[in-house]
Chains A and B, each alone.
Chain A
């Protein structure tokens, strides 16, 4: 029994500790990878919206699940794209400012 204690127990503790450390690192790494992909998503969505804005406005975009487009003033600095549109002719000039957020 003493032999077992001296040989297995410290080994088991170390294994458990290392496993926990590995698990924490895996969870942390996963969260970092998720964060990275969110940044990537933001970047590609903003590039898409930027092109759309230049191409005639982002008002018609409602098929992106994680993008909200509002005409309100920006509440935080968290917006993706500000897209001002000037339409109309003569004295009848309409100005709309669309702001896109990622949900």
Chain B
């Protein structure tokens, strides 16, 4: 009856096979779940985290572009371009993973707050069976929105032509100088440091017995930088012209031409 001793071995083996099969199913399921969660984390939260780390340097670059051209490159442009860069990065990831994950930028905003510019975007990462929402944000220590507005205002102020009534040419020159200073001072010195160089040549166009008229074009060049620490050492440079009509209420005999030049800044003590 030798087989009687074999039977317990076979029974033991059957029990072991059953336990192992159960264990495999259980462990396999758990492993796949764990992998799913790990990958979901890597393509969503980890990507948001990495974007948050990269965003300050993107914003810094955008800020430098804005500072060198604040009239055409406004706060809104900065927001649009930054969002485009983020969308591009997310698109590459989505594409390279064979669309295992799909990203959508739900909303974004850029606004100035005190002495800062803040960029914020809400992104949704969609994996096969889940959606994860994340927020990326970065700030730049200069209020770029107000800076670009200040430069726009300044350019508008400087665009206006001017008519000066004066008793003599020296007085006319003083009036023009004061006018340029006023246009700059309107801006205050809170967000932007400005220096303006200007010059113009005036020539006599009309002379009657009690009035002499000169016309001239003031050509100005603006050098502006943000008032706080400027991280990219960029300067805004714009130039332009405005016309000035000078009317002297007497007959000026000797002066056919005169010139004006000067320098104005809104930060007296450097």
Contact = CB atoms under 8 A, between A and B. Distances in A.
Interface in A58-83: 71, 73-74, 79-83
B93 A80 contact: no
Contacts of A2: none
Contacts of B28: 39
Interface string A25-54: 110110011011001101100110010011
A90 B138 CA distance: 13
A36 B50 contact: no
A32 B54 contact: no
Nearest to A46: B35
Given A71-B96, A95-B93, A15 B27 contact: no
Contact of B96 (A33, A47, A97): A97
B38 A50 contact: yes
Interface stretch (B12-20, B175-183, B234-242, B244-252): B12-20
A87 B54 CA distance: 7
Size category of the A interface is 35 or more
A14 B13 CA distance: 17
Most chain A CB atoms below 10 A, which of B20, B42, B88: B42
Nearest to A23: B13
Contacts of B113: none
Contacts of B47: 84, 86
A29 B58 contact: no
A16 to B, nearest CB: 9
B2 interface: yes
Given A19-B6, A50-B38, A90-B60, A36 B27 contact: yes
Contacts of A85: 50
Given A11-B1, A21-B10, A32-B21, A88 B43 contact: no
A39 B93 CA distance: 28
Contacts of A87: 54
A83 B46 CA distance: 9
A18 B101 CA distance: 53
B256 interface: no
A87 B50 CA distance: 8
- 6 closest A-B pairs (Cβ-Cβ)? A89-B57, A97-B96, A90-B61, A25-B13, A18-B6, A32-B20
26 contacts: A11-B3, A22-B9, A22-B10, A22-B13, A28-B17, A32-B17, A36-B27, A39-B27, A46-B31, A53-B42, A80-B35, A81-B35, A82-B97, A82-B101, A83-B42, A84-B43, A84-B46, A84-B96, A86-B53, A89-B57, A91-B61, A91-B85, A93-B58, A93-B85, A97-B92, A97-B97
Interface of B: 1-3, 6-7, 9-10, 13-14, 16-17, 20-21, 23-24, 27-28, 30-31, 34-35, 38-39, 41-43, 46-47, 50-51, 53-54, 57-58, 60-61, 85, 88-89, 92-93, 95-98, 100-101
